[in-house]
Structure 1
Amino acid sequence: MKLLHLDSSVLGPHSVSRQVSAAIVDRLRQSTPGLDVSYRDLALTPLAHLTGSHLAASQGAAPEAALREDIAAGQAVLEEFLAADVVVIGAPMYNFTIPSQLKAWIDRILVAGKTFKYDAQGVHGLAGNKRVIVAISRGGFYGPGAPTALGEHLETYLRWVFGFIGIKNPEFISADGIQVGQEHREKAVAGALKAASDLRAA
């Protein structure tokens, strides 16, 4: 069984989402003998954002020489995702949504004919055989009923993205209120780590 572990926080060792995603992977390693884990740090080695040249190349135009390496990197990312049985993502909230580094990765895996397709009945996800677990961290509180709930475009966006490609029940472990104060931060991190330790085996 293959597990793909992604982190997208720019905070390095100070990141809550990295701490929780690592705990999720540790839990799955312990509970799943022989688990094959690969790791990608999207902040340390970011993918380029898509440009018109990328889109032209995807339609058959000969890519510019400078673009070929990046296209190959995007293809490698897609193949890495397709090969994974389990995907664990560390995703902090930046300005109410995901980091741009994670968005660049998503743009490389949402590929027609690979992870979704359209027909007369609409869209069909092609990646529904994967388990996705996301460790999210948010500075405030954005749950249902909160005054700021309408500003939550992290979990809601990722649920939609993964649902679009056929993964209907992504799992989320959340650490909320980490910027409210030290007490809230410690409580949120402890709760998220406890949830990670209680995960079922891969």
Structure 2
Amino acid sequence: MTHILRIDSSLKGEASVSRRLTGRIVAKLSEASPGATVTERDLSRGVPQIDAGWIGAVYTAPEARNADQASIADYSDRLLSEVKAADILVIGLPVYNFGLPATLKSWIDHLARKGETFRYTAEGPEGLLKGKRAIVALSSDGTKMGSGIDFASGYLKHMLGFFGISDVEFVAADQLVFDSEGTIRAAEDRIESLAA
């Protein structure tokens, strides 16, 4: 049975274009796989930034953690478990100031754990989350995806690949300020053409 993890990070709530697109992508995938299950994670509610306390927590053996470390590690472990359990990640990527929302970057930081999502080998780093698919719904007001001022899509694709997720597709509703209706319609048409 297919398990889908939907990640949203836009601060705009129901007015968010990236949320609209992730919703449509999940609906399309669920229609193609009627038994699919969906886990939703809304990062706009806040994701703690990693810090020295986080490092101390996640790299301390569970039985040796104090209460604060156990709480920190539990939150981070839940984010990691959601990704590990997913067959398909549907990620909303609103472009803020040419890059990722801070909460989406923090989510990635929680996932970047040696021995969990990657390891170092004599040949270089190896991602440990192989066999998963990611579909990214990118929205932006003025930034064109793949342009010299897009510091969001390339970074996210790199990090997913670093974790072993090489099957990454983008659905872009970029440069919305120039033709919002046409851009969204083209993105929705792209969703309809996605292979299930």
Fold shared, TM-score > 0.5 on shorter chain: yes
- Aligned residue pair count: 193
Q: 1:57 to 1:103 in 2, by over 3 A?
A: same
Which whole-Å CA distance do the structure 2 matches of 1:178 and 1:164 have between them? 30
Cα deviation per residue 1:124-146 (whole Å; 9 max; x = unaligned)? 111121010000001114245xx
What corresponds to 2:73 in structure 1?
Answer: 71
Matched, 1:177 2:182: no
Amino acid paired to 2:155: Y
Q: 1:9 to 1:119 in 2, by over 3 A?
A: same
Matched, 1:36 2:40: no
Which whole-Å CA distance do the structure 1 matches of 2:148 and 2:65 have between them? 41
Where does structure 1 lack aligned partners over 5 or more consecutive residues?
A: none
1:175/1:188 contact within 8 Å kept: yes
Instruction: Tell me how far 1:104 sits from its aligned partner.
Output: 1.1
Percent pairwise identity: 36
Which whole-Å CA distance do the structure 2 matches of 1:155 and 1:124 have between them? 21
Instruction: Tell me how far 1:155 sits from its aligned partner.
Output: 0.7
1:25/1:88 contact within 8 Å kept: yes
2:160 to 159, 162, 168: 162
Q: Calculate the TM-score normalised by the size of structure 2.
A: 0.92
Which whole-Å CA distance do the structure 1 matches of 2:128 and 2:95 have between them? 27
Matched, 1:186 2:184: no
Which whole-Å CA distance do the structure 2 matches of 1:19 and 1:82 have between them? 25
Matched, 1:195 2:190: yes
Matched, 1:4 2:5: yes
Amino acid paired to 2:73: I
Which whole-Å CA distance do the structure 2 matches of 1:9 and 1:104 have between them? 14
1:4/1:81 contact within 8 Å kept: yes
What corresponds to 1:95 in structure 2?
Answer: 97
